[in-house]
Structure 1
């Protein structure tokens, strides 16, 4: 009877060993695949970002302005505000230099949080029957 019991123990151990090795192998290959997909998406996003930047610069060059022009108009506006003298900039330059839609602190915080994330974490009331 002892030889029958030891063969059952060995077969169970062998089965578990095969299961663990198969699970580890599938985890390894799945993780490798997921990481490759993430890297592809990151590269594609970076290429899209670079393409948008090139298009933005190309558009600015075609308009005849440079990337530094809005910064110069901001400096002129700040200097004019400090001296109290209004500078005669055309309206398009004033709009480029200023922020068309100022963002409040609350809006900036909401942009950092997820779309469905609560403004503050949920806290249960004291005296709950399960606490």
Structure 2
């Protein structure tokens, strides 16, 4: 027969076992998350290095050819300076080349502010007596 002491002992063992399993599971989950975060950061840094190397190689191949002159280099610098200062900002063809995303509407910003599973409008119960 179960006594109050044996029931208390059983619950105590159950609580200790549950707490131990929770502790080790949480530690394992956190280690996995940290490992994934470090791997993602490493991939991001690698992509950034490759992007910079690509930009440098493009600049080196485009700007150091045998037929380029200092006048051509100064013209390119002036063009880049004009783009950087926004001198051609009114030219539609320049704006298209900038790679700007399409304009965002008010509805799109509202969609982004809501959660993935959140309803577009809150649920409102229908009025009236449902039991008659």
Q: TM-score range by the shorter chain?
A: 0.5 to 0.7
* Equivalence for 1:99: 100
User: Cα RMSD over matched residues?
Assistant: 3.5
For 2:118 and 2:96, the matched residues in 1 are separated by: 34
Task: Structure 1: give runs of 5+ residues left out of the alignment.
Answer: none
Aligned length: 111
Cα distance, 1:26–1:59 mapped onto 2, change above 3 Å? same
- Equivalent position to 2:15, from 20, 27, 31: 20
Residue-by-residue CA offset, 1:77-128 (whole Å, 9 max, x unaligned): 23xx4xxxx6xxxx7x765534153433433443454555433333333337
1:35 to 2:30 alignment: yes
Cα pair distance change 1:73/1:117, threshold 3 Å: farther
Are 1:62 and 2:63 counterparts? no
Larger RCO of the pair (alpha carbons < 8 Å, separation 6+): 1
Distance in 1, Cα, partners of 2:129 & 2:47:
53
DSSP-derived class of the 2:8 partner = helix
After superposition, residues 80-91 of structure 1 pair within 5 angstroms as 81=90
Q: Residue 77 of structure 1 aligns with which residue?
A: 88
CA-to-aligned-CA distance 1:36-94 (integer Å, 9 cap, x gap): 111112112222222222222222222219xxx9896252323xx4xxxx6xxxx7x76
CA deviations 1:7-62 (Å, max 9, x no partner) are 71111111111011001111111111111111112112222222222222222222
Structure 2: segments with no counterpart, 5+ residues: 63-78
